[in-house]
Structure 1
Amino acid sequence: MLIYTVLPLVLTGLFVWGFVDALARPARQFELAGQSRNFWLGILGGGGLLYFAVRVMRFWFPLAGWVSLGFLIAAVFYLGPERQRMGPRWTDRGPRRGSSRGGW
């Protein structure tokens, strides 16, 4: 019974993590990945709300399981290969650590 309560909340947390990460990244990094920032904010925000409604609140509509699974796959894709294509989050806000330019 604990799995049916905790697992959907943890998976909803993936959407929240992705949404906060997308808000924190500069829009220029999304151009490197090929999708706009608004696209990912819509997928992660809308998908998170839908996943929470279907899995935690137990709302039902036709094909709810498949739609929520599709959004979950999109969130995992964003957190995995899509973030890697964008690079580190803070690269355009100052010098990188360990840079070999200047200094001693």
Structure 2
Amino acid sequence: MSYYGAMGWISLTISVVVIGLALWALIAAAFRSSSDFVYAGTTKTRWLVGLIASLLVSLNGFAYNIPLMFGWLLSIAAIVAPIYYLGPVRSRMPQKRGRRGGQRSQRGGW
């Protein structure tokens, strides 16, 4: 395999990982309630718009390949936004509980 072939596969792998990360963050934000975002000091709409933009910039190479002005800067922002949402922003929100509300089962256990 040539150098350019290997770099092509590495670039494709990184692109797929970034798209998956942006999609994961977008789905996680969509299923959160709006009141959870108050704890993080922001709004749900702001994060949904930002994560959708991140996903669109990430998909640019696959779907439509439009030359973007300052494309390298947008690509960095498309990587940082989902990571920042999944890290510090989501950790400031209240933890989601299961169906039972975090209580132990009445059937056996400790």
Distance in 1 separating the partners of 2:74 and 2:22: 14
Aligned to 2:26: 19
Structure 1 residue ranges, 4+ long, deviating more than 4 angstroms after superposition: none
Q: Is it true that 1:79 corresponds to 2:94 in the alignment?
A: no
Letter in 1 for 2:101: P
Distance in 1 separating the partners of 2:103 and 2:86: 23
Aligned to 1:36: 43
Which runs of 5 or more structure 2 residues have no equivalent in the other structure? 1-7, 105-109
Aligned to 2:107: none
Q: Is it true that 1:59 corresponds to 2:66 in the alignment?
A: yes
Q: Does the Cα contact within 8 Å between 1:5 and 1:56 map onto a contact in 2?
A: no
Q: Does the Cα contact within 8 Å between 1:9 and 1:56 map onto a contact in 2?
A: no
RMSD: 2.2
Letter in 2 for 1:95: G
Which runs of 5 or more structure 1 residues have no equivalent in the other structure? 99-103
Letter in 2 for 1:35: T
Q: TM-score, normalised by structure 1?
A: 0.81
1:59 shift after superposition: 2.8
Larger C-alpha radius of gyration, 1 or 2? 2
Closer/same/farther in 2, CA of residues 97 and 3 from structure 1, 3 Å limit: farther
Aligned to 1:101: none
Q: Is it true that 1:96 corresponds to 2:102 in the alignment?
A: yes
Worse-superposed segment, 29-38 or 67-76: 67-76
Instruction: Provide the aligned length of Structure 1 versus Structure 2.
Output: 98
Closer/same/farther in 2, CA of residues 71 and 5 from structure 1, 3 Å limit: closer
The SS at the match of 2:95 is coil
